[in-house]
Amino acid sequence: MLVPTGPLTNVALLLERHPDVSGRLEAIVWMGGAVGEGNATPAAEFNAFVDPEAAAAVFASGIPLTMIGLDVTHKALFTRAHAERLRGAGRAGRFVAELSDFFQLFHERSYGFAGSPIHDAMAVAHVIDPTLVASHVVVALQSVASRNVDPLKQVVVSVCTFRTESEAFNVIPQTVLLRASIRTMDPEVQDFVEGRIKAIVENTCAAFGATAEIDYRRGYPVTMNAEENTGYAVEAAKRVTENVDADAVPLMGSEDFSFMLNARPGAYIFLGNGDTAMVHHPKYNFDDNAIPFGSSWYAEMVESRMPAA
């Protein structure tokens, strides 16, 4: 990809002397031209005006070309407020601010602008860095839990994969792959969050001129115990031991048993395992002393719910 920010003389010469190059160029993004008002003449922009033959040759080359003209760059203004912020940001900031002073004054007097247009940088900005876009997507997705969902209703949105197709430190990749896990306790919240995530991803990308392909897969439904069946399970547990927590704090982990609970009312319970990490953790250690309690609870459930005739 080429991003010329001046007259197209060199690009036209390249294509004339090495025509094979045109087949290897993905695109050209040119800072030049104008649809409306010019700056070299009332109708012509400077980069096009000084070598119109070169511009015509490049336009006719068949290479995809995006023109970032004055109609675009005149909307991106570097104002005096921007300059003052840079002026207080060290030596480099003062240097840039002082450079901008001339252009600020010129465009205010010549065009009545509130600042100086950012011409060349606009063409460079059009060559989108997907890592920047994806970073904004990751940040924006955090608003789902913090701003979009009732704080009394649990939701977790975790972006756990951020991958590009390049590992080079000096090459801007073409694509970024994000993978996320969404956990909720409410089916209605689950529906809402899916819609919000799609809207945030699509609109954030659109704001940067990028596009997104969304593959949203419903994994596990909410593991929701039936109240009546939970009562049976609690009473059976109390007949086995006094150490029963009938109001355990909900967890956000995924559970296969949720599919069973969606088909038939039931209850998912936890069996105490002593002082150890949770299941699936590398340091999880099953305590054999829990076996009699679990077996007794199963037996108590059978005897209470399916008594012998």
**18 and 89 housed in the same domain:** yes
Same domain membership, residue 134 and residue 114: no
Amino acid occupying residue 195: G
Q: List helix spans (H) across the chain.
A: 9-17, 46-49, 52-59, 70-73, 80-87, 90-111, 119-126, 130-141, 143, 187-207, 227-240, 257-263, 291-305
Whether 55 and 94 share a structural domain:
yes
Question: Is 163 found in the same domain as 120?
Answer: no
Please count the structural domains in the chain: 3
Tokens of 196: 């919000």
- Shared domain for 187 and 272, answered yes or no, is no
**Judging by beta carbons within 10 Å of its beta carbon (0-12, 13-18, 19+), is residue 57 exposed, middle or buried?**
middle
Q: Are residues 15 and 120 in the same domain?
A: yes
How many CB atoms sit inside 10 A of residue 123's CB? 23
Residue 150 lies in a domain: yes
* Separation CA 64–CA 292 (nearest Å): 73
**3 state DSSP class of 84:** helix
Give a yes or no: residue 189 inside a domain: yes
Does any domain span residue 215?
no
- Parent domain of 276: 227-305
Q: Cβ contacts of residue 178 below 8 Å, gap of 6+?
A: 134, 137, 138, 159, 161, 162
15 and 118 share one domain: yes
173 and 143 in a single domain? The answer is yes
The per-residue pLDDT for 39 is 87
Cα 294 from Cα 274, distance rounded (Å): 13
**pLDDT attached to residue 309:** 59
Q: Is residue 220 part of a domain?
A: no
For residues 193 and 155, is the Cβ–Cβ distance under 8 A?
A: yes
Domain end call among 109, 126, 143: 126
Residue 218 lies in a domain: no
Query: Do 55 and 144 fall within a single domain?
Result: no
Q: Give me Rg for the CA atoms of the chain.
A: 32
How do the pLDDT tens digits run along the chain, 309 residues long? 899 999 999 999 999 999 999 888 888 999 999 988 888 888 889 999 999 999 999 999 999 898 999 988 888 888 888 888 888 888 888 898 898 898 889 888 888 899 898 888 888 877 888 899 999 999 999 999 999 999 889 899 999 999 998 887 767 787 899 999 999 988 899 999 999 999 999 999 988 888 899 999 998 888 989 999 999 999 999 999 999 999 988 888 889 999 999 999 999 999 999 889 988 889 999 999 999 999 999 999 999 998 875
Last residue of a domain, one of 126, 155, 185: 126
2 within a domain of the structure (yes/no): no
Residue in 153, 156, 150, 176 with CA at minimum distance from that of residue 164 = 176
Residue 98's CATH number: 3.90.245.10
The residues pairing with 34 across neighbouring beta strands, listed in sequence order, are: none
Q: How many angstroms separate the CA atoms of 134 and 178, rounded? A: 8
Contact 260, 222 (CB under 8 A): no
* 184 in any annotated domain: yes
Output the six-digit token pair for 278. 């949770």
Query: Which residue, 174, 207, 240, sits at the end of a domain?
Result: 207
Assess whether 118 and 134 both reside in one domain.
Answer: no
Compute how many other C-beta atoms are within 10 angstroms of the C-beta atom of residue 48: 22
Which residues pair with residue 163 across a beta bridge?
A: 177
| Residue 103 within a domain | yes
pTM beyond 0.75: the answer is no
Based on the fold, state whether residues 105 and 33 are members of the same structural domain.
yes
> Based on the domain organization, do 162 and 180 belong to the same domain?
yes
